[in-house]
Amino acid sequence: MLEAKNLSKTYTSDGVDYEALKDVDLSVRRGDCIAIVGKSGSGKSTLMHLLACLDAPTYGSVLIDGRDTSAFTERTKNALRNEKFGFVFQQFFLNGRDTVFENVVLPMRIRGASNSEIAKETTAALDAVGLADKVNKKAKDLSGGEKQRVCIARALVGRPEVIFADEPTGNLDSSTGAAVEKMLFDLNRDQGITLVVVTHDSDLADRCDRVIEMKDGRIVADKQREAAV
């Protein structure tokens, strides 16, 4: 469903060009569970941003369900991210002063959903991450693991087809990290949501069905885990 063709991205800062991504080809199938791994500066985050239409490639193109996103207007890309994608970030990006509910509801508000729909989907999303009882708590009063679960609920609330997770366990200790990982894998397995995880945590990567290794802006390995084949 997601396809990258000859994807290149060059950043220019202070007049110096820096090629973050060089001619990358990649195909993501519906229901895939993919880890993009590599050292920092390898281009893994850039690849994710381009796949998620958060950034535009310098050359090449990203196709979604066969349609070239470079032809999309800003508005279409916004709608696409809002409706088809969910995002989980390492630093959570929660609004601490707002309640859990208000944080989770954000994608639905942006979409302009009706109040009844908002209530229904938010309850479902919070149930899925086991935080239904914390709905009215302020986000800042939660533990790290709970915060990341709120983020997953936020990614989930709009019923996305793909969840992009950027170092989802990077700020968590190993046991809470494991719980968050399990939650993401369950969503992939049970609901068929495509999962794209960017990480340098090899343990997390090893639990994905497919591992794409990046180095200096190129894909150096694309391994399908035997058990998943």
Among 12, 17, 66, 112, contact with another protein (rule: CB under 8 A): 112
CB 102, min distance to another protein, A: 9
Write the binding mask 7 to 46 for another protein: x where contact by CB under 8 A, - elsewhere. Answer: ----------------------------------------
Q: Does 6 bind another protein (CB under 8 A)?
A: no
Q: How far apart are CA 64 and CA 76, in angstroms?
A: 12
CB 54, min distance to another protein, A: 6
Q: Does 147 bind another protein (CB under 8 A)?
A: no
- 29 contacts 36 by C-beta, under 8 angstroms: no
Among 10, 41, 72, 106, contact with another protein (rule: CB under 8 A): 106
CB 94, min distance to another protein, A: 9
Distances (CA, A) of 180 to 44, 49, 56, 162: 21, 22, 30, 17
Q: Of 15 and 112, which CB lies nearer to another protein in the complex structure?
A: 112
Give the footprint of another protein on residues 74-93 (CB under 8 A).
Answer: 74-75, 78-83, 87, 89, 91, 93
Write the binding mask 46 to 75 for another protein: x where contact by CB under 8 A, - elsewhere. Answer: ---x--x-xx------------------xx
* Beta-strand relationship, 162-166 and 85-89: parallel
Q: Of 71 and 97, which CB lies nearer to another protein in the complex structure?
A: 97
Q: What angle do CA 171, 9, 45 make, to 5 degrees?
A: 10
How many residues bind to another protein according to rule CB under 8 A? 25
Among 27, 95, 191, 224, contact with another protein (rule: CB under 8 A): 95
Q: Does 119 bind another protein (CB under 8 A)?
A: no
Phi/psi at 79 (5° precision)? -65, -40
Residues forming the site for another protein (CB under 8 A): 49, 52, 54-55, 74-75, 78-83, 87, 89, 91, 93, 95, 97-98, 106-107, 109-112
